[in-house]
Each structure stands twice: as structure tokens, then as C-alpha cells.
Structure 1
Amino acid sequence: MSKDIPALAAAGLTHSFGDRAALDDCSVTVPAGSVTALVGRNGAGKTTLLRAAAGLLTPHRGSLTVFGDQVGEGTLPSIGYVGQQAPLYQALTVAQTLRLGGRLNPRWDAAYAQRLADAADLPPAVKVGALAPGQRTRLALIMALGKRPGLLLLDEPLAPLDPVARTEAAGALMAEVAEHGTTVLLSSHVVADIEGVCDHVVVLADGRVRLAGDVDQALAAHHVAVGGAGDLAALDGAEIVEAQPDGPGFTALVRIAEPVLAGRLSWHRPTLEELLLGYLRTTGALPVREVAVR
């Protein structure tokens, strides 16, 4: 697959559940070969976007392509999807689950899936329902990877795991992804899950994209300003993403490549956590528009 063609391209996606808009004219591009973090507060539209990309939901309006093809039956073999609950047949054993993967997926790589299961120490004769949560998550990831997908969609699959299990599962997943060049779109609330792993980031709020682009470029396009109450005027004309009281003064995330040398302001580059929290804390107050970092 050519890296010139986006792994995922959404344009004007709109979808509602009753009176609530889950996606509102949402447009986003996920570069092929990237590991992209999908970040947003509860109800931001992350799960709806992932389900639409997986072909499990048809948006009311807009277009959605995977590697240049409209999402549908033709794209399903190239997509691996793991939802929040990592659904598996509880009554089947690990071995039966892997065999089922071969029957359901035309591109199933049985030897590869078995190698992953062995590396995860999954007991073949044990039923899925008797596995520990971390083992079930590993098995769900193996079922997605065994399809040899070009695009892997992960909807907070690590959320139920303890910190050790999260680290082990994420490490095993990313090692396999790096080896085969799979594109990953990973939804997570935990910055530690994505920091050092994801090279692109998408922030959703109210069903729209507020920040999208390469992580390093996004960080370089912002600065954090710290100053006293009288220094806020020095930021006039700058794009302030968020300003928070900080003792008698303030701390502000500013979309600016070079600091303003005025007043008593001090500046530093934001961490990824500072950048994401700045957008997440104030998404309701930001203008409804895409903030793109290319």
C-alpha cells in the first residue's frame, strides 16, 4: 500500500444518536504507516469515528475511505478492530478462537497468530471466559493482528488492565506493528499509553477535530507562558488555547512557534500531557473549527 494514500480519510462525517450529535462535520486524515492517538473526553465522538471506520456504523452524512476505498465490505479484510470490551466468545477455548479466526478471515495468518499466542503464554485449552482480563485483551489483539490488517483500530482496549499488564500488552502490540508497518489509530484517555508510542495525534471535541498532526510539529507550534496577572496583556493578539490561574498569576497554553518577549512572561515548550490537557480542558469554549498542524 502506498504511503501517499491516507490509511483513513474522513470528510464531513456527521452522525447523531437522537438529539445528540456524536460526529459534527468531522474531517480527519490518518497517514499510512503512522501510529495515531485519538484523544478526547467522554462523548467526544471517538468510538463513533472508530466504529464508522470499521464498517460497524454508517454515518448519516460525509465520506470515509480506507486506503482510498469507500468503507464497506471490500475494506473489511484490511481492517483490524478491537473495541473497549474486547468481545470474544467466552465458551470457546483459546485454540478454538484462533481456528475460528482462520474461518472468518480470508487473509488469516495462522502461524503468526499462534506465535503471538505462544509469546503471550495463552493456554490453548483454557476457555476465553476463564482467562484473566489481561490475557483476554492480548487474545483480542492477536485476533485483530492475525488478519494481517493494513489499518488497526483500537478503542481503549487497554483501559481495563492494571499498569503492568498495560505496559506488557502495549509493548507487544507496538513491537509487532513496527515490524510490519501497520497503521494504528489508538483511542486512549491515558497519556502514558500514547507518549513515546504515537507519532501523530488527533484531538476530538464535540464531534469535531480540534488538533491534528505530527506530535513533534504540534509540540513545536505551541508554548506555555507563565506570568503574573498584569502580564496577560502581553499575549494580546496571540492564540490562547487555555489559560489557568496559577497562584496570583496564570499559566497559558499558547499556539505560537516563537515566544513573545514582553513583560515578565516566562516560556517553555509544552509536554505532550500539557498540550493535550490544554485542548481537552477547554474544548467547550474553543471555536468549533479544525486546528491542523501539518
Structure 2
Amino acid sequence: MTDLPILEATGLGKRYRRSWALRDCSLSVPSGRVIALVGPNGAGKTTLLHLAVGLLSPDQGTVSVLGQAAGSGEALARIAFMAQDKPLYESFTVEEMLTFGRRMNPKWDNDFALRRLASLDIPLKRKAGKLSGGQQAQVALTVALAKRPDLLVLDEPMANLDPLARHDVMRGLMEAVADTGMTVLLSSHVVSDLENTCDWLIVLNGGRVQVSGDLDELLAEHRVLSGPVEGADALAARVSVVEENRSERQATLFARTGPIPLSPQWTDRPVSLEELVLAYLRKPDAAALPRPALAVS
């Protein structure tokens, strides 16, 4: 496994006319992870992904994949990208899609593609436009996986799929990760898609990176603290409060803190992934960023 970050951005920004879709984005993500990229609509998720795979050029800053400039031939050879609309040539048969993939990608694994589609009972002679939404997603994922990329980038891959199809696509993705050890960067606004699958979290909010880090570490260092409102100010001064709610008698603090002694009137509990994401999205000025390990030129 390489020591180079799979994805690294420094001061990255992209502007559309007078508005910044992404600004001052700096992050460094290690290889071999399943990375969840979350945020509300319009947060800049697709822009970041398109910059990473070379479909867009930055207006400021830099972005690289395994040390190679995004969009360069060296980087593109190591990336597979599956867009939200599951791009397939609708007039092509599934078999013709595989032929197209084989001709375009020197590391193409046609035996893998055939085995995977056979296991899913997807007929090779059927036109892509005649497949169900779930089957189209599986064919698009197969084409991406058969490229044998180091980095697989997926933009809302489960969008518009029913729950069973969503489960099947995610299961197939996780099986491929287990078999190959590749890195996956997966955007979604549905947090439940990410439970028990992703181990690195990036939260984009308003075009800026708000959270980035190892998911287990992020969950471990956040707590929900509950107790009498009279002691809330004193406790809040000892921890980093992301969000708080107070009633006449009760206070609840969502805090970034390690183990901390509490008076008997106070309780604390771990947080869930959904709670973590929503707490930060509700507070755009709050941030949970790791100590960066950006490469030094």
C-alpha cells in the first residue's frame, strides 16, 4: 500500500460566474479507505468530485491523486468515475458496453466483468436502455470496477433506486473493496447509505470542508452531554460545543471532547453518524478537522 494520500487538495476552489461552488478546500485522505462525502444539495460535492477526476479545472489551488495532478494521464489511468445518472449508452447492449470498456482501458478485467454480470443475472444481449434502474446501476458499477482503479469515485450512486436495489449495489461495492483493497470516494446525502460501510468522513457545507477525518476517531471524540441548565455554562467552558439546546430546566450539549469528569447530575453518551453529520450541518461555522498531513513539496 502506498504512503501517498489517495486524494489531496490544497486551497482548492471553483467558481461559476460570481459564485464559489467550492472554496479554500484543503484535505488529505489516505489510501485504502471508503470515504463518505456528505453535505446538503448545493454544498459542492459534485464539484469536488469533478475536480478530482479531471472533469473540471480549479480556479484556485491544487488537487492530486496519488501525487499526480488531477486530470493528468497518470491520474486518469488510476481512477474510475461513476456519475449520478449512471452513464451508459442506452442503444448499446451490455456486451457492447463491456467491449467499449475493454478498448478504452488497458488494465480492463473482462473475466471479472462477465462473472459479475452473470452472478447478477443481467443478460449481455439486452440493451442498456431496457434494463431496470438497479440493473443499470450494476452495469455502470461493473464497468467502473473492471477498469481495476486505485480510486473509485461515485457521485450519488444510489440516487433514484429502490431500497432493495440500493442494498444490492452497496453490497456489491463492499465485496469489490474487500477483494481489491481499492479506495472508494462516495458522495451521498442519505446518511443511512453510509452506515457500516465508510471509514472516513468528509462533510462539505457551503462550499467548504467542515469535517474530515477517520470516522471511528470522529465518533469517539464527540459526546452528547445532558444535565441541569444551571451548570451548562460552566461545562460549556470546558469543552468544544458544536451545538446546544436548552429548555427551562434541561440542557443538552453536543460537544467535541474526550473523557471528562461530570457531576452526578450530568450524563453523557456516544453519538451516531447521523447525529454527527446533522450537528455540523446545522452549525456551518463549526469545524472538526484532523491535524493535516499534507505532502510537503
Instruction: Give, in whole Å, the separation in 2 of the partners of 1:247 and 1:152.
Output: 50
Q: What does 1:50-69 align with in structure 2 at a 5 Å threshold?
A: 50-69=49-68
Would you say the 8 A contact 1:44–1:206 is kept in 2?
yes
Q: Secondary structure at the match of 1:251?
A: strand
Contact kept in structure 2, 1:213 and 1:293, CA below 8 Å:
no
The percent identity for this pair of structures is 42
* Unaligned stretches of 5+ residues in structure 1: none
Contact (CA 8 Å) 1:217, 1:293: kept in 2 or not?
Answer: no
Superposed, which structure 2 residues align to 1:213-228 within 5 Å?
213-228=213-228
C-alpha spacing 1:166/1:246, structure 2 compared with 1 (3 Å): farther
1:31-73 Cα shifts (integer Å, max 9, x gaps) = 1111111111111111111111111011111111111111122
Measured at CA, do residues 116 and 73 of structure 1 come closer, stay the same or move farther in structure 2, by a change above 3 Å?
A: same
Quote the residue 2:244 is aligned against.
243
How many matched pairs? 290
Q: Quote the residue 1:43 is aligned against.
A: 42
1:292 counterpart SS class: coil
Q: How many angstroms apart in 1 are the aligned matches of 2:247 and 2:175?
A: 41
Structure-1 separation of matches of 2:174 and 2:283: 31
Shift of residue 246, structure 1, vs aligned partner: 6.4
Q: How does 1:56-205 map to 2 (within 5 A)?
A: 56-71=55-70, 72-205=72-205
TM-score by length of 1: 0.93
In the alignment, residue 10 of structure 2 is paired with which amino acid? A
Deviations 1:137-179 (A, max 9, x none): 1111111111100000011111211111111110011101111
Question: Aligned letter for 1:109?
Answer: D
Q: Which one-letter code corresponds to 2:128 in the other structure?
A: V
CA RMSD of aligned residues (A): 1.7
8 Å contact 1:82–1:153 — kept in the other structure? yes
CA separation of 1:133 and 1:261: change in aligned 2, threshold 3 A: same
Question: Which deviates more from structure 2 when the two are superposed, residues 4-13 or residues 265-274?
Answer: 265-274
State the one-letter code of the partner of 1:44. A
What per-residue deviation string (whole Å, max 9, x for no partner) do you get for residues 86-139 of structure 1? Answer: 111111111111111111112211111111111221111111111100000111
- Check whether the contact 2:229–2:248 (CA below 8 A) recurs between aligned residues: no
Query: How far, CA to CA, are the matches of 2:269 and 2:251 in structure 1?
Result: 14
The alignment partner of 1:24 has SS state of strand
Q: Is the 8 A contact 2:229 2:247 kept in 1?
A: no
User: In the alignment, residue 292 of structure 1 is paired with which amino acid?
Assistant: P
Cross-structure match for 2:289: 291
CA contact (8 A) 1:259 1:267 kept: no
Any gaps of 5 or more consecutive residues in structure 2? Answer: 293-297
Partners of 1:13 and 1:49 in 2: how far apart?
9
CA contact (8 A) 2:201 2:211 kept: yes
Pair 1:278–1:119, CA change in 2 (3 A): same
1:255 and 2:256 aligned: yes
1:47 is aligned with what amino acid?
A: T
Question: Is contact 2:34-2:200 (8 Å) kept?
Answer: yes
Contact 2:213 2:289 in 1 (8 A): no
- 1:250: Cα distance to partner? 3.5
- Deviation string for 1:187-216 (max 9, x for gaps)? 111222111111111111122211111111
Name the SS for the 2:77 alignment partner. helix
The whole-number CA distance in structure 1 between the counterparts of 2:205 and 2:249 is 30
Q: Distance in 1 between matches of 2:83 and 2:203?
A: 19
For 1:170, the aligned partner's letter is M
